[in-house]
Structure 1
Amino acid sequence: LLEGATPSQIDQVFTDFGWPMGPFQMGDLAGLDIGWRNRKARGLSAVIADTLCEQGRFGQKTGRGFYLYEAGARTPVPDPE
């Protein structure tokens, strides 16, 4: 991400290698707030993920994370932002 790739481009590399999903899709599934709380407790940060969490974008549970999710759906939709 820091070099310009999108979450969907990075996740595609993982699925092309046979993984069921990439790290951004997995983060959205698990909930970005889980890692955020752990990082904060240890004094660590992940700038992009932390910014999403500060905006209330925790992944599938909120309908927005690295991807967008339509109500009741689990299919990630790339976020144009």
Structure 2
Amino acid sequence: MATPTDPDLRATLRSGLPDRYLTPDDIAEMFEVPIETVYQWRKKRTGPPGFRIGKHLRYDPADVRTYVTERKSANRDAA
């Protein structure tokens, strides 16, 4: 459960992403998917683009926002 000092990552996705690189756990929480799904997205290159810092996987908030915007546009166009 989030404490008052912990940001609600789903609300953050709607209102503005944090000013830090995101972890795979952050992505899983934001999209309400299992962490395994995040790793499958990376393997299949279907999710937001990530990058490695040493052995650590991170996501740029700007790339995540672009990914969401593109997905929303694709869904509108398909409807």
- Whichever structure has more strand as a proportion of its residues is 2
TM-score tier, shorter chain, comes to under 0.3
Give TM-score scaled by structure 1 length.
0.27
